[in-house]
Each structure stands twice: as structure tokens, then as C-alpha cells.
Structure 1
Amino acid sequence: MVQSILFDPLLPLPLVIALSVLAGLAFLVALWRGLSGWHLRGVSLALVLIAILNPSLQSEERNPLNDIVLAIVDDTASQHIGGRADQTRQALAELTDLTARRRATDLEVVTLPDADDGRGTLLAATLRTALAEIPENRLAGVVVISDGVAHDLSADLPPLTDTPLHLLQTGKTTDRDRRLTIRNAPGFAILGETVELTLRIDDLFASEPSPNRDALAELTISVDGDTPLTFNIPVGQDVTLPITLPHGGMNTLQFATPLQDWELTDRNNETVLRINGVRDRLRVLLVSGEPHAGERVWRNLLKSDTSVDLVHFTILRSANKSDNVPPDELALIAFPTRDLFINKISEFDLIIFDRYKRRGILPGSYFDSVRDYVLQGGAVLVSAGPDYASVDSLWYSSLSDILPGGPTGQVVERGFHPAITDLGARHPVTRDLDAGIQDDRPPWGRWLRQTELTARSDVQTILTGADETPLLLLDRAGEGRVALLGSDQSWLWARGYEGGGPQAELLRRLAHWMMKEPELEEERLYAIPRAQSMQIIHQTLSDEGAEVEVTTPGGEVISLPLEERSPGHFATDWTAPEPGLYRLRSGSAESVVALGPAAPREFVNTIATAEILTPLIAPGKGAAFRVEDGLPSLRTIREGRPASGRNWMGFLRREASQTTDIILMPLLPFWAWLLLIAGFSCGAWLYEGRRN
């Protein structure tokens, strides 16, 4: 029980103070003049003032409260490598036993998990939240069981004041790891031009070894999941690598170094870099066999794009035509056909033959050059008119080795509506090309002429024309690609005939498909990351979706079913368990995707250290102890004293208590005050009378 005296003045406190001053002055005057009975009158005045202050006796019933030791247990990803999870469990068990032996002490355990948004170990935030729920007068100290790596100490530190904080550091003095990081990389690059990126491989040690300046590490580089290339680069140095992107669009570059026997983890041995390949210029050679209504449309369409460099070669006069005009009067300079078709043909990205037929102007060796150009990776588009059905057709040249279809010799001279085939509905060149068209009318305007074609086997027919005969054929030839359009009437769409059609979009997609842009590939597996989840998409010509196998950063393989969202477009949404590098496989298609950083922040620095937590340890004079050396003993210290020693850590003795009952009663009853005041006053009067 604790007792104390409380005062509850009957008059305002300023008035009580004024009365006290007057009483004190009267007492001093009586003392100075030597009046008889002054001491008894002084006591009476004092009793009056005390009675006005209304003193009361307060008695409190209190129960003592235990001190609290707060334990923050780090359960982030870096705590599950190198045996640290076992060390953490052992340290927590021993700390629980030690605090149980300490008199009147409770242990409160708070777990520190991984941040959902990939921000790493948020120790300061977790500590601040835990301290807000513990009374300050009961907190004896804080123990952090961790590898010492935290990522939010740049913010305001938790208000620990003089409370000691100790670190029980997991990890071993023999820990060693290898880390791969991208130091500098561009976000985009121009195709055909070399860009430089800087990367670095570091060997990390818990105890600093003697440097090995000649150490080399193996580095593999893979683009879009293709066969990786292997290099040996020095360790501990920035290495600049020249990179030339293989195709336009997004290029996914995967860098990796093999796992060594002595490493803590391979989670920081890989990284993914996405670089957007941009074509500086699209170089197109347009070869027109003769002037016609669609020639100007082709030219305007290609020239409207500022990124297209167009060379237009038009046959205005055949070699055997006799009009009695000397050739030197028909042109100022000779057209450099040899340079175009022999010497510089590899500089073009796309060659278009528009209603061209063999007329003796281009010799057979030029067509051989075009064929070889395609086989080596070039692209050719043939827009066939009646010329393709004649005896002078390109089909009867060496280009027949690469063309996807030949003529039947028939030309359909009537109107028809181009239609997308079942395969075309799934093919990225024509998929959704008719989106937004109402079902009660033909999707596009008519074409008025078509050359009948016979398609080769294994050729992709994505558009049909009159009587459902092949109209647009696609094929691969060697390393290159070829497209054959069996009509010279596509320009009617550009002119808006009967509503027109998507000629510009169709040509754009054809060009991108022939340029091997990834987004126009028939078989493509990719993922769109969204925070902690991703949308996995399989673009395929198959009408049945397969499952996708997802390999997590930890090596676990998860099978996910894909549902058809649109023809040839299968997808699923999936919430990933953790950030990191994921590998995707569906059938023969493979891909990699980085959810968050390829190496999460937890694995940027995997070596345990106490230096990061020094701003938390120093104010309370705590210390860091290695768990592998055993836990120190516990001691009680006074506030402001050192809180650690060689093999001990100290905690405060708070001695807090909880009040369970309060009894308040007057120090004296009112009548007792009156009796005392009257008694001393009468005594002073009697004493003064006897003296006189």
C-alpha cells in the first residue's frame, strides 16, 4: 500500500496565497514587537490555512508489473540461407530461457516478415510499431535476432532514448557469396548499332580475405531464352560489354554466373535486363512492274512514315519497246540496278514487288540475289496482279524456290470481300484486324480482281478471297520470310472504296512480322508483371491451350492452366509468392520475367553485419553478439550505465506497478480542525491574560 497527502483548497488558490502572506506578515509583526502569546496565535493561523487547503490522505493498492524485453525476430528471405533459420530458432529458445530466469520479466516476441512491395527488411518500421504497444515504463530492453541487414534506417529512428538495444547476429564468420549486378544499362537501343552496358561480379566475405586480382568468373548471356553465350570476366571490376540487339521490340537479356560450392545462395547470381530495340530507319525497296492506280497508294503509304527510307524502282518502258526515242533522251542518269540488287541488297529490310513481271530488264542473276537475300534473313512481299498468272510471272524465276504459292493461270475479274481464315483469326498479323465491325455487314470493302493461287504445303493462309481461294500467304524461307498477296487491289481500301479497309495496319503488321518483331511472332510466351502478380500470356496458332510451367526463384515448379481469352491468345493471372526471376515454359515456348528486381533487395548484400544497426545500438550503449559464439548472460543495470560487456548484455529494472484501488479520506474531520483552532486561540488568550 502506498499513502500520500493530497490538497483540495476550499478557496481559490490565489486567495489562499494572499491570506498566507497576510498571516505571515502578522506573525512577523507580533514576533518583532514581542507580543505575548505570539507563538500560539501563529499556530492558530497556520491551522486555519491548513484547514482551508483541505488536506486528504490517499491510500493506493498497487500490484507490481513485470518488465518487458522486446525481441524482434527477423524472418525475411536472407534469414533462410546459410543455416541462419536454425541459428534464429536456437537464439530465440535460449533468450526465452534466460528471460524466464530473470525475476519479474516477460519476453514479447515480434516477427519481422518480408515487405510485400520488395522494399526489403523494414526493421525500423516494425520496431516503431512494436514500441507503440509497450508502456515505456515497463520496457527493459530490446533484442534483435537478425543478420543485421535493414533497409529503412534512413528514415526517422524509433524513439528508444536510453533503453538498451542488443543484436544477436546470425550468420558465420566463414560466410562467402558471389553477386552479379548491372551497373549501367540503356533502356533502348537502335538496331544494328552497338550499345554498351556495365556489369560487375563481386565476391563477398564475412571476414576480409587477401584480394585475388586475377580471379575470373564465368558469365552467361542469353537473349529471349536462346542458347546462352559464355564469357570469363574478372571478379571485383566493372566490365563493359558491347551488345547488339538481334531484333526490334523488347529484348529480354538474361545474365547469370554459375553457383559455386561455397556460396550462400544463387538468388543474386542472375539478373534480367529488358532493352527496347528501335529501328533507326526501315529501308524499303519498292519495285513496280508498271504504272497502275495502286502504285501511288503504295508510295504514299510508305512515304507517310518518317521512319521509312524508300527506294522506288518503277518500270516505265520495257527493253524491247520501240518508240524511236534514244535511251539517252529518256533519262538523265542510268538507274543503279546492279548496286541495288547485287551490291547493296543486304542493306534493305524489306523488298516489295508490286505487279512485277519478268521483262528482261532485271536479269536472272538479280533474282538469284534476291532469293539468297531472303535465305540469309531478308524479307520479300509480292503484291501479285495479272502479271503473276502470265508466262512472265515471278513464279517462273529463281524466286519460286522461296515463294509460298504459285499461280493457276486464272484471274478472277469480279468483286469479292477479303476474309480472315480460321488460322488468320489466331495469327498475329490478322488477329483482331476486323475488331469493332458489326456482324450484319461485310467487314471491309470489296476488291475487284484476284489471281488464283495454289499454296505450298505448310504455308500459312491467313486471308481468302473469291470462292475462299488463298489470298494472303505467309512462309519462312531459310532465315528470312516471304509474303504473297494474290491481288493488286489492296489500294481500294486506302481510297475508301465501299468503306475501305485496314490496308495501312495490314502492311504494318506484315512488315513487323517479316522483321521478326517478337510481338508478331506466332509462338510467343511472355508475362506482364504487375506489382506482386503477373499476367502470363501464350500467343499461339494452336486452338488448344497448354499449361504453363513456372519455375520460381527458389526452384519450385508450378503448373498453371491457361484459358483462351481470344483466338490464339491464352492467358492466366497469377499472384507470385515472392519477387525474383521466374522462368516460364509452355510447350516449346520459353521466357523469363523479373517480378520486382531479379535479385530481391534481401539478396543484394547477403553477408551478415552489425554496422547497419549501429545507429540503433549506440544510443542505449548496447552491443552486437554473434549467435555462433553462444548467447551472453543477462544483467540488470541502472539507467545511463553501460548496457553490455564481453559476455553479458544488460537490461533496465523498471519496477512499474498497476494501481488496483484508491482510498481517499480527510486528514482530520471538520470539527477537529475547529476544535484545534479554537483551542490554540483560547490558549493564546489565557496565556496573554496571565502575562498581563
Structure 2
Amino acid sequence: MNPIVTTGVTYQDWQLVLLSSWSTARWVVALAAALAALLLSWWGCRRQRRALRLLLVGLRALAVGAVLFVVLQPALQLRSVTRVPNHVAVLLDSSASMALREGPRTPARRERAAALFARSRPRLAAWRREHLVDAFTFHSELSAAGPLDQPQRAEGPATRLGVALEQLHRRYAAGALAGVLVVSDGIDNGVIGRGPLSAEVRRLVRALGAPIHTAWIGGLPVRDLAVGAVHADDFAFVRNVVKVEVELIATGVAPGPLTVTLARGRRVVASRTLLLQPHVERYATTFELVPPRVGKFVYTVSVPLQPGEALASNNERSFLLQVIRDRVRVLQVCGRPSWDERFLRHWLKRDPNVDLISFFILRTPASLSLAPTSELSLIPFPTDELFDRELGSFDLVILQDFNFAPYGIGAYLPQLRRYVEQGGALAMVGGALSFSSGGYAGTPVGAILPVRLLPASTDERELLDEDDFQLRPTPRGLDHPILRLGRDHDETQALLARLPPLAGANRLGAAWPDATVLATHPKLRLADGQPMPVLAVRAVGRGRTLALATDSLWHWAFLGLGEPGDDPVAYDQFWRNAIRWLIKDPALQQLRVLVQRDRLPLGAEAQWLVRAYALDYGPARGLELEYGVTRLSATLPPVPLLRRRAHTNDQGELQLGFRAPQAGAYRLWARAVIGGRRSYARELLLVEAASLEGRELQARDGVLRELSQRSGGQFLGAVSTLPALPWRPSQVLHVNWRHDVELWNSPYTLVLVVLLLGLEWTARRRFGHF
């Protein structure tokens, strides 16, 4: 509107107002009375001609309107106003992809964005004269920007333009935005993605109520090969197939074969070959692996680095796999039927957590048979299946009163030793066909047992002792989990003392230096006068072995006292403890490393705990231990990062923190001496680059185009300077001065009211209406 000048003041705006101070109730009564007056006038002249009726009702309406005009007290309000500038929001992408250089001599995208604003300083100044220009950077969230003509830090872990627009919508009141300018490479890895815009995003664009102009920082080709994603379960069962799905993104890479490898640590587990094709960016492949043992492992999917790649860190991706047991798989091989074999086999079959494969020999190759072999119902001993192809599938192998020689197993004994060294468990139970009596002296199996075996030249009558005896635990045996049959040492000793005696034992040599003797014979002595071991254990490589030099432990189950408190009975508890120790049940570890989270984004601090238990499994207070951190790699040797000593607190714990310097896998470890035995524990930590930016590097403009199109903005493309852009005008006014011109307060108004009332009264009298 043209400005109005009055009383020396210029007014830029005007509006009609009502100055009456009547309440709402009074206005309702007044309007009802006016309406009633009109209706009565219409009813009174309903029998008149139409023209006369319209004249009389019209005069009544003008009279009533004139009265209401005076009562309402209308006025013309003149205002001197200033239009409040609205906001232009500039959103500059600061995600990690903006730091990318498409070529060795090409400026980074963030530098090209800064150059765009530097060349557009006059345009920005023109916008500031009419609007408030607010500068923001965005990646996974919105934040204030520094000078736009200077390169911004581009370290954001993700590009979430939808989140930035949502935060912008919450930041400004309705109508406060003149428009939005988005400067980005267009790689969105949030809700918008590759587009098209979802219904939710379209509603957000409409709610902003302002045009969204977009400038694209892209257009240059990128060469990159990335492991986009790896999909695998967090948990798997040992020796069961695990499927690993891999997504690859190839941008600007020459067509041809590509090898994708899956490695556990530094060992390649599997590989796949893909054929890269022209104009195809996304590929998928699947690996199937069978975890060989229980534990937590780091697996890495990788692709080879291509010449001229823009980013090398996205060529591999690691994941953690926790391998657990479905059931404990046990192989029991017995040389002949016996009470000891029967009781152990039935106990294993009763345990729902045990998957038992049991073989016992009923007929040897030397057995006399009057029928041909084809007519016998007994199956041949499956030597090759058990000790070659399927050996690694067992958690525990029990050789019970079994001599290997008659069955051609001697050639498989080195494999049995390797099985133990690689993490398996072996228990040898006594009998007339076991230990030295079974010919194990000088064999690979004899070398991994906890005790030395008497030489094969020993008289067979000196290899067995048939006298009854009471098992005598050693001090270290009372502390060991296997002989924890009671609540404490005294209860365990009392229980062992009242159990039935054992009938006979295999004669053994001394224990190996790295073995632990848990129980001895009360009468039999070694050459040096020490008691002969009857029960001993040993750690061999990553596995464990147990030697029990008697075949009469079944007495404990058959003749067990079963007195109050003996629940479970000694036989059950012994074998349950023995199996748990042999397979390294984590619940029996006296030193443990625990992490609050085994997967962390880069930059977060890992909280981890070392917990130590004494021999009685109470807190190991004030225990000196050593702890450290080692960085693991799929291609390089482990790198120690930290190694220190400390003491546990009154709870037997040590609280620690660690912040990884870079993404990757780390081993958190601790070692200590508890009760004279060395204990070691470790946990794996996977630190992942929090950024999603490395998955896809090629700039794209589709999302920016659609945002501009749906909001009424302009897509500028890869411009060198910012052009003039249409912004929404401000709708907010600030009133500086106000002047009311009362339209009703005039003699002419009063004359008009009286004239209309008189005219209406005269007309009614003239035509006979009162």
C-alpha cells in the first residue's frame, strides 16, 4: 500500500478496528435484538406487495445497521510499522564424505563448498540486507557453522538431511523461514537415503512452508571399492553352519573378477570370486562357515585395494561371532563292557546337555567266530570316521579301558594329539587295557597325558594293582574344581573318606611338571618315594587332558552313601565337574575379563572389568595381576598397546577403561597367579568407525532435485556462484506508532442515524404499519 501521511507521521499500514468495550454477552443480546427487529418487520408486512415489503424491511435494516454502527464504534487504525526480517537457513554438509578428494589434484568437496561461498559474498550480503541469514552445518545432527567461505570440518559419521530439516522445523516458529539453501554432495544415509522421498519427509517439507534451494557439490567421478555391509548373527553354535551375507559397492572400478575373502584373525577361512560388470555398483555374496570351537572370534571380510581408490579404509569390515555349545559332544570308546563303562555311559546319556557317541568292543579281530563276517550283526569299528573325519566335531574324547593296537588306531594317535593341542579334551580312564597296559607308553597320546607311563617292557603283572584303596586328595586337588564335591575343603574330605573304597589301580609314573595331581594312592609309591598319582590333569596347547587310573569309580554311584547333603552324589558331581573343566566352562575360570559392550564406535571409551576368584571361588582381594591391550589385524602381527600391573579391590575386581586410537579389533587380557597356578583371561573388543560415509562415495543429485521440486525451490546443480533466489517475504510486522481515526464519532453520523430512523417511521405510518 502507499504510505499515509498525517499529523507529520508516515503510516505504512491500516486496518479497521472496533472501539466498543461491550462484553461478548452484551453483543449477543444486541445482535439478537437487531435480528428480532428485522423478523418482526418482515412479519408485519407479509401481506403487502413485494416491492413495498422490500422497501419497509430495507429501511428497517438500514436503521438498525446505523444504530449498530454507532454502538460498535468503528475506527480506522493507522500504523507505522517495520517489517521484521525472516530467516534464510543455509545448511552445509559436514559429513565425512565432504572431505573426499575425487583425484590426487582435486580439491576436497568441503574446499569446493567454501570456494562457492567465497565467490558468492556479494550475493550473501544482498540476502542479509533483507533477511537474517543463519548458517548451519549438518551430518547426523544440526550445529552452528563457522565462516562459510572457510572450509568446514568434515568428520560427521553420517549424512542425515531428514534429521537436519526436522531440527530446523523445530527451531523456527511458523512463518519465520524465508527459505533454506542446502549445499551437499547428496549422499544421504538416513531416512531419505537414495530417494524417492517418503511420505513422512514430504510432510516435513510441507510443514517447513518455505522453498528449499539446493546446490550440488559433486559431478566428478570416484573410484572406490567398499565392503558396504556384513550381515551375520552375533551367536552361533559350534560346528554348525553360519551364514554371512556381504554387500559390496563398486564405483568407477574396471570390470573383471574380484576376490572377496573371509578371515578369522589372520587365517583365511573362505573366499569368493565375483565378476564386476559395467554400470553395476552393488553386489552381494554369501559365505558359509563352521566354527570349529567355542569362544569369541573376530572375522574380517575384505577386498583387495584397487589402483587409484579414493578411500582404502572401507575395503574391509570386521564382525564378532560368539560361538557357544548347543550340547557337549562326547565320544566314549571302551575296550570291553564293564561296570565302569556301563555306569559312565548311562550317566552321560541321562545328562540332557550331553550328545553322546559311545562305542565299546564286543568282538576283537582275534575273537573266534564260526560264522562268516558278513553274517555278524556287529558293525566294524569305524576307525576312520571317529579318529579322522569326525574327530574335530567332539568336545571330549574318553578312552576307557581301551587298547588301540588291535584296531589299527596307532596311525591316528598323532591326530588325537593335534586334536587336544588345538583345543580338544581327552580323558583316559583306567583298566586292564588302559595306560601302559594299553600300549600307550611312547605314543603321541602318552606324551600328552598328565602322567608319565611305565615303559612297555615292564612286566604286565606290575602294571596293575588289585588292592582296594581310598582316594587321597592332594592340597591342590582340594582347591581344584574337579574335586569340589562339598561346600568347602573339610566337607569334601569328609565325603571322600566315607565313600566306598576303589578296587584296584593302574600303576603310573610321576606327573609331568606342568600337570596337576589331584589325588594319590595311599599305599603305592613312585621310585622317589612319592605317592603315586591316581587322578591328574594337564593343559596341553589349547586343550586339556585328564588321567584317572582306576576302573572302579562306579562304586561311588552304586554304593554311594547318599546321606543328607550329598546332592548330587559324589559320582555325578565328580564327572560333572570333570567335563566342565575339560571343556573349559567359563563358569570355572578363576580369572575373567568382562566388557560392558564388545562393540563400540570409534572415540567411545570401553569400560572393562577384571574379576579374580580365590581357590574357594570367593573374591581374590588384593591380588596382583598384569593386564594389557593388544591390537589385532587380519594382515599384520598383533601390536601391544598397553601392559601394566595392578591389584584387585576388596571385591576381587579391577575396573579399567580404554579408548581405542583407531577402528579395529582389540584383545583385552589379564594374567595372575592364583593359588600357585597361572591364570589367563581375555576378551575381544571391536571398535567400529562410527561413520556410514565410507560405504558410498559417489556424489548423487537425485535427492536434492526432489527436495527442491517438492518445496517450490530451485535445484542449482554444481554452480560456481550462487544466483539470485526467490525467498518468501516476511509476514511479521513490528508496530512503531498507532493512530485511531474514529469513524462513528461525527455529527454526520448522528444525523444519518436520526434520518434513517425517521424515514423508516414515516414510511410505516404512510402505508398503515406501526
- TM-score, structure 2 length as denominator? 0.64
**Structure 2 partner of 1:84:** 109
Does residue 196 of structure 2 align to residue 152 of structure 1?
A: no
Deviations 1:423-460 (A, max 9, x none): x87xxxx59x9699468854994275687762223x34
Amino acid at match of 2:701: A
Tell me which of 356, 373, 398 is aligned to 1:352: 398
Deviation (angstroms), 1:481:
5.6
Q: Secondary structure at the match of 1:179?
A: strand
Does residue 628 of structure 2 align to residue 547 of structure 1?
A: yes
Does residue 571 of structure 2 align to residue 529 of structure 1?
A: no
Does residue 276 of structure 2 align to residue 235 of structure 1?
A: yes
Tell me which of 350, 356, 372 is aligned to 1:304: 350
Amino acid at match of 2:414: D
Q: Aligned equivalents of 2:80 and 2:438: distance in 1? A: 111
**Structure 1 partner of 2:360:** 313
**Aligned ranges for residues 384-463 of structure 1 at < 5 Å?**
384-385=429-430, 392=437, 396=441, 398=443, 399-406=445-452, 413-417=469-473, 430=481, 437=487, 441-442=491-492, 445-446=495-496, 454-457=510-513, 459-461=514-516, 463=518
**Structure 1 partner of 2:82:** 63
Deviation (angstroms), 1:108:
2.0
**Structure 1 partner of 2:707:** 616
Tell me which of 720, 723, 726 is aligned to 1:633: 723
**Structure 1 partner of 2:170:** 132
**Aligned ranges for residues 23-422 of structure 1 at < 5 Å?**
47-82=66-101, 83-91=108-116, 98-102=123-127, 103-114=129-140, 120-150=158-188, 151-153=190-192, 154=198, 156-157=200-201, 158-161=203-206, 163-181=210-228, 199=246, 201-205=248-252, 212-214=254-256, 216-226=257-267, 233-236=274-277, 238-239=284-285, 241=287, 243-248=289-294, 252-273=298-319, 276=323, 282=329, 284-287=331-334, 291-292=338-339, 294-304=340-350, 308-313=355-360, 333=376, 339-341=381-383, 345-346=387-388, 347-348=390-391, 349=394, 350-355=396-401, 363=405, 366=408, 368-377=410-419, 381-385=426-430, 392=437, 396=441, 398=443, 399-406=445-452, 413-417=469-473
Deviations 1:250-271 (A, max 9, x none): 5543111234453332343222
**Structure 1 partner of 2:17:** 6
Q: Are the aligned partners of 1:69 and 1:143 in contact in 2 as well (CA < 8 Å)? A: yes
Q: Aligned equivalents of 1:318 and 1:552: distance in 2? A: 52
Q: Secondary structure at the match of 1:268?
A: helix
**Structure 2 partner of 1:483:** 546
Deviation (angstroms), 1:525:
8.4
Deviations 1:367-408 (A, max 9, x none): 633522323436563444586999736554634333231269
Q: Are the aligned partners of 1:221 and 1:229 in contact in 2 as well (CA < 8 Å)? A: yes
Q: Are the aligned partners of 1:141 and 1:652 in contact in 2 as well (CA < 8 Å)? A: yes
Q: Are the aligned partners of 1:364 and 1:397 in contact in 2 as well (CA < 8 Å)? A: no
Deviation (angstroms), 1:51:
0.6
Does residue 733 of structure 2 align to residue 657 of structure 1?
A: yes
Q: Secondary structure at the match of 2:710?
A: coil
**Aligned ranges for residues 569-608 of structure 1 at < 5 Å?**
572=656, 581-584=664-667, 594=686, 601-608=692-699
Q: Are the aligned partners of 2:238 and 2:293 in contact in 1 as well (CA < 8 Å)? A: yes
Q: Are the aligned partners of 2:429 and 2:550 in contact in 1 as well (CA < 8 Å)? A: yes
Give the 3 Å change call, closer, same or farther, for CA 141–42 of structure 1 in structure 2: closer
Amino acid at match of 2:216: Q
Q: Are the aligned partners of 2:246 and 2:286 in contact in 1 as well (CA < 8 Å)? A: yes
Deviation (angstroms), 1:480:
7.2
Amino acid at match of 1:177: D
Deviation (angstroms), 1:20:
6.6
Q: Aligned equivalents of 1:552 and 1:343: distance in 2? A: 36
Aligned-pair identity in percent equals: 17
Q: Aligned equivalents of 2:641 and 2:119: distance in 1? A: 38
Q: Are the aligned partners of 1:384 and 1:485 in contact in 2 as well (CA < 8 Å)? A: yes
Q: Secondary structure at the match of 1:632?
A: coil
Deviations 1:298-337 (A, max 9, x none): 1013223576342332689999xxxxx98769x9959667
Q: Secondary structure at the match of 1:619?
A: helix
Amino acid at match of 2:191: D
Amino acid at match of 1:269: N
The two structures, once aligned, show a CA RMSD in angstroms of 5.9
**Structure 1 partner of 2:147:** none
Q: Aligned equivalents of 1:591 and 1:225: distance in 2? A: 18
Q: Aligned equivalents of 1:568 and 1:383: distance in 2? A: 36
Q: Secondary structure at the match of 1:156?
A: helix
Q: Aligned equivalents of 1:242 and 1:44: distance in 2? A: 95
Deviation (angstroms), 1:419:
6.4
Q: Aligned equivalents of 1:566 and 1:371: distance in 2? A: 48
Q: Are the aligned partners of 1:202 and 1:235 in contact in 2 as well (CA < 8 Å)? A: no
Give the 3 Å change call, closer, same or farther, for CA 590–101 of structure 1 in structure 2: farther
Q: Secondary structure at the match of 1:121?
A: coil
Tell me which of 512, 521, 532 is aligned to 2:583: 512
Amino acid at match of 1:131: H
Amino acid at match of 1:107: V
Deviation (angstroms), 1:142:
0.7
Q: Are the aligned partners of 2:598 and 2:684 in contact in 1 as well (CA < 8 Å)? A: no
Amino acid at match of 1:545: E
Give the 3 Å change call, closer, same or farther, for CA 189–584 of structure 1 in structure 2: closer
**Structure 1 partner of 2:457:** none
**Structure 1 partner of 2:149:** none
Q: Are the aligned partners of 1:610 and 1:624 in contact in 2 as well (CA < 8 Å)? A: no
Q: Secondary structure at the match of 1:658?
A: strand
Deviations 1:137-183 (A, max 9, x none): 33111112322223213361254446221223334513222122468
Give the 3 Å change call, closer, same or farther, for CA 256–282 of structure 1 in structure 2: same
Amino acid at match of 1:368: G
Give the 3 Å change call, closer, same or farther, for CA 393–606 of structure 1 in structure 2: same
Amino acid at match of 1:147: D
Does residue 34 of structure 2 align to residue 16 of structure 1?
A: yes
Q: Aligned equivalents of 2:137 and 2:709: distance in 1? A: 23
- TM-score, structure 1 length as denominator? 0.70
Amino acid at match of 2:310: L
Q: Are the aligned partners of 1:110 and 1:130 in contact in 2 as well (CA < 8 Å)? A: no
Amino acid at match of 1:616: L
Deviation (angstroms), 1:100:
3.0
What is the total number of aligned residue pairs between the two structures? 638
Give the 3 Å change call, closer, same or farther, for CA 414–57 of structure 1 in structure 2: same
Give the 3 Å change call, closer, same or farther, for CA 253–160 of structure 1 in structure 2: closer
Amino acid at match of 2:629: V
Q: Aligned equivalents of 1:633 and 1:670: distance in 2? A: 55
Deviation (angstroms), 1:601:
3.8
Deviations 1:601-634 (A, max 9, x none): 443322221213444221233233456x423223
Q: Are the aligned partners of 1:382 and 1:484 in contact in 2 as well (CA < 8 Å)? A: yes
Q: Are the aligned partners of 2:668 and 2:685 in contact in 1 as well (CA < 8 Å)? A: no
Q: Are the aligned partners of 2:400 and 2:434 in contact in 1 as well (CA < 8 Å)? A: no
Deviations 1:104-124 (A, max 9, x none): 2112234434379x9953322
Deviation (angstroms), 1:296:
2.8
Q: Are the aligned partners of 2:334 and 2:400 in contact in 1 as well (CA < 8 Å)? A: yes
Structure 2: runs of 5+ lacking an equivalent: 1-10, 53-57, 102-107, 143-155, 193-197, 278-282, 455-462, 523-530, 614-622, 671-679, 763-770
Q: Aligned equivalents of 2:301 and 2:119: distance in 1? A: 43
